[in-house]
Amino acid sequence: MHRLRNPGAGGTVSLPAVGKLINQPGYTALVADFGRASVVAALREQVATERNGTAVTDQERLNQVESSLRRQMAPVLQRVINASGVILHTNLGRAPLSRAAVDAVAAAAAGYTNLELDLDTGRRGERSTLVSGLLTALFECEAALVVNNNAAALLLALTALCKGREVIVSRGQLVEIGGSFRMPDVMRISGARMVEVGTTNRTRAADFDEAVTARTAALLRVHTSNFRVEGFTESVGPGEMAVVAHARALLLIDDLGSGAVEPIADEPTVAESLRHSDIVTFSGDKLLGGPQAGIVLAATEAGVAAVRKMARHPLARAVRIDKLTLAALEATLKQRISGREDEIPVQRMLRVPIEEVRRRAALWSVKLEDRGVASRLIKGESAVGGGSVPGYGLPTFLVALEGPASRLAAALRRGDPPVVARIESDACCLDPRTVLRGEDETLIDAVEVAARSLRR
């Protein structure tokens, strides 16, 4: 038994021992939910707090221990409502999956699968072939390989095809993307030697041609992803690069990044790249609208041979795709092949008519007014995000909430569920374009709670 001095009463309060408390009915129920070791640790922390503070009742102690345990065991990865207007929000996990893809993941996760088993022969199969047929059908190419992300796809291509040799790239494409991921670092890790040509703003086909030596393995084109150079500029298109590469019997590798299936602004499409390049790589969780994956495609004879070499390289095992991602990717590809693109959330967000966005925003505003939350509609722009179509905005209508913008945004982020808004025109704004179907009422409730918390 521990003694806690109570200065107000001039005496002491007894603190029960943890070993005694753990056997009481309230705590044994917590043990069933959280495990004995976790409950004991939480109890010790609570008793230590009481020893240095104010005494609490037995029920208050139990409540505080339970609250502490629930906080510790709450999921770190939480479902978030994206009201920011950024469709491919990298910090929020980029593309949300379609219902079909989610169902496919659940089915694959709940049991065993034929991930590497040929059901016809009973022999070991190759996971890389499970979706290759869908990819070659969708993009009308000859070979496909899937790894765990696009950075891995490019690293594998450079390592398997160019290690110990030179790769020529424009200085204007030596990009750094999120997380300090730099193209020169990837080149160094792969074992290939990077040869820079041109300048930051101007590169010509002749620059590539003049840099070719007997040690050159490939020309590399890199999508600049999240920035754009404008003004006095000149760049080399894939067609011009293909002329140089193929005249010198070199590979042309195109790191396409976003993987646009259909035209959007001036974003290069996969089909356009395949017309000229030997190897094309892009992300599965960007404009394709699927799970995180690195997709490698080839349409030329040299490209097909290169994909086979990549698949056999030891690094391919280290960056291989898992069964859950394969399941989600398969479902997404089948939706596109069958013409059901609007079932893919990213595609639906890109295509939604501005009139529908306005109607949804107006309905939110009316419902919020009924809850005592003042707002107004303002015009704005949604962003594609994810390093896709930099500088290109989609017209939208925003619900601008009345009140202190930064405090409202913070209260929304800390809510249950968290809501990510954006500050524009000195107001905390909600963009309907990126709020998924079925989230409207939950969003309205979250905004009401956040606004009420600031009035206390």
* Tens of pLDDT, residue by residue, the chain (456 residues): 444 444 444 445 578 889 899 999 999 999 999 999 999 999 999 998 888 877 789 999 999 999 999 999 988 899 999 999 999 999 999 999 999 999 999 999 999 999 999 999 999 988 888 999 999 999 999 999 999 999 999 999 999 999 999 999 998 777 666 555 677 788 888 999 999 988 777 888 888 899 999 999 999 998 866 556 665 666 778 889 999 999 999 999 999 988 899 998 888 899 999 999 999 999 999 999 999 999 999 999 999 999 999 999 999 999 999 999 999 999 999 999 999 999 999 999 999 999 999 999 999 999 999 999 999 999 999 999 887 777 789 999 999 999 999 999 999 999 999 999 999 989 999 999 999 999 999 999 999 999 999 987
Please state whether beta strands 143-147 and 166-170 pair in parallel, antiparallel, or not at all (unpaired). unpaired
Q: What is the DSSP string of 213-249?
A: -TTEEEEEEE--TT----SS-B---HHHHHHHHHHTT
- Among the candidates 341, 369, 400, a domain finishes at 341
Print the domain residue range for 413. 81-89+347-455
Please state whether beta strands 422-424 and 176-177 pair in parallel, antiparallel, or not at all (unpaired). unpaired
In a domain, 76, yes or no: no
Q: What is the DSSP string of 246-262?
A: HHTT-EEEEEEES-BSS
Instruction: Report CA torsion sign: 310, 328, 383, 275.
Output: positive
User: What is the pLDDT at residue 204?
Assistant: 85
In a domain, 335, yes or no: yes
Q: How far is CA 95 from the centre of its chain?
A: 6
Alpha helical stretches, state H, 74-193: 99-109, 132-139, 150-162, 183-190
* Same domain for 237 and 371: no
Backbone angles phi, psi at 396, to 5 degrees: -150, 170
User: What is the pLDDT at residue 265?
Assistant: 86
In a domain, 264, yes or no: yes
* Same domain for 297 and 315: yes
User: What is the pLDDT at residue 186?
Assistant: 82
Tell me the CA distances in angstroms from 443 to 149, 253, 411, 420, one per residue in order. Answer: 32, 44, 13, 10
* Same domain for 165 and 259: yes
Q: Considering only CA atoms, which of 150, 172, 88, 57 is closest in space to residue 347?
A: 88
* Same domain for 242 and 115: yes
In a domain, 94, yes or no: no
User: What is the pLDDT at residue 229?
Assistant: 60
Determine how many CB atoms are found less than 10 A away from the CB of residue 422. 18
* Same domain for 409 and 337: no
User: What is the pLDDT at residue 7?
Assistant: 45
* Same domain for 126 and 63: no
* Same domain for 128 and 248: yes
User: What is the pLDDT at residue 1?
Assistant: 46
* Same domain for 258 and 213: yes
In a domain, 75, yes or no: no
- Among the candidates 322, 341, 360, a domain finishes at 341
- Among the candidates 282, 317, 341, a domain finishes at 341
- Give me Rg for the CA atoms of the chain: 28
* Same domain for 244 and 227: yes
In a domain, 236, yes or no: yes
In a domain, 39, yes or no: yes
Provide the domain count of the chain: 3
Amino acid at 382: S
Write out the two tokens for 380.
């704005």
Q: Look up the CATH number of the domain holding residue 136.
A: 3.40.640.10
* Same domain for 85 and 20: no
* Same domain for 147 and 235: yes
* Same domain for 387 and 286: no
Strand locations in 10-112, DSSP E? Answer: 11-15, 81-82, 86-88
Question: Which are the contacts of 215, defined by CB distance < 8 A and separation ≥ 6?
Answer: 165, 166, 193
User: What is the pLDDT at residue 181?
Assistant: 63
Q: Look up the CATH number of the domain holding residue 416.
A: 3.90.1150.180
In a domain, 221, yes or no: yes
Burial grade of 133 (CB within 10 A; 0-12, 13-18, 19 or more): exposed
User: What is the pLDDT at residue 176?
Assistant: 65
Backbone angles phi, psi at 371, to 5 degrees: -95, 5
Write out the two tokens for 161.
């095809």
